[in-house]
Amino acid sequence: MSAEPAPAAAGGGESPNVPVHLRPAREADVPALAQLLLRLKRLNEEFDPLLKVRPDAEARAVEVLRRDLADPKALVLAAEGIGPDKDKVVGVVRAHLRERVFYVPEVEGVILDIYLLPLYRRKGVGEHLLRETAEALRAKGAGLVTAEFPAHNEIATRFYAKRGYRPITLVQGRRL
Ligand SMILES: CC(C)(COP(=O)(O)OP(=O)(O)OC[C@H]1O[C@@H](n2cnc3c(N)ncnc32)[C@H](O)[C@@H]1OP(=O)(O)O)[C@@H](O)C(=O)NCCC(=O)NCCS
């Protein structure tokens, strides 16, 4: 409910006043982060029947998060609320470094998942997450940042377009 401003951030990639505290995720966050990933996948399901969520998706989310936390080529950030929501994980970002065998820049940081609980949306938090994620990926060696999301997710398209992201490759598919 409360949306008190965060302390002003100093230096670097300027943070606006956003009602979250962003930090690297840790093992203890895994159950909460898995729930957020699951919410995102269920949202994705609404965009396309080929994104139907598996019955074991929750267990897989836990596995994937644990694997990523141990992988230096992965990035998992947790957004905590502030004030009364302090210690509550309200958002997640998950990204991987991927080698581009034929192209330069040679290393791409791929944002695989970005999700905020609905109460935290439209307050500039997403842009803050995106900026900090891009910086963290750059620090890990990425020369390019990309994002994967359902083709029909118009909000995501607008969200990324506003930050200068544009389509590079398209993935098309049909059921067999
Ligand atoms: C995508 C998401 C992380 C954006 O976070 P957010 O904090 O709501 O976004 P911001 O407040 O920083 O908004 C940034 C811009 O994104 C676009 N945007 C965000 N939400 C929007 C909405 N509901 N309708 C239209 N545009 C929207 C706008 O261009 C907005 O700029 P504006 O406020 O000046 O119009 C958040 O909406 C979310 O978690 N959505 C559900 C999960 C999802 O779709 N993830 C992306 C695909 S993996």
- Does residue 15 surpass a pLDDT of 90? no
Q: 56 CA distance to ligand 1 centroid (A)? A: 28
What mean pLDDT is predicted for residues 16-27? Answer: 91
List all residues whose CB is within 6 A of at least one atom of ligand 1: 40, 43, 113-116, 121-127, 149, 153, 155-156, 158-159, 162
Question: Domains, the chain, ranges and CATH?
Answer: 20-161 (3.40.630.30)
Cα 1 from chain centroid? 22
Q: What is the pTM assigned to this prediction? A: 0.91
Tokens representing 46 are 């609404």
Give the pLDDT band (50/70/90) at residue 17.
confident
Instruction: Give the residue whose CA is nearest to atom 2 of ligand 1.
Output: 126
Interatomic CA distance for residues 132 and 15, integer angstroms: 9
Interatomic CA distance for residues 136 and 88, integer angstroms: 22
Tokens representing 3 are 């949306």
pLDDT tens for each residue of 66-93: 999 999 999 999 999 988 889 899 999 9
- Does residue 29 surpass a pLDDT of 90? yes
Q: How many CA atoms lie within 13 A of 126 on its CB side?
A: 21
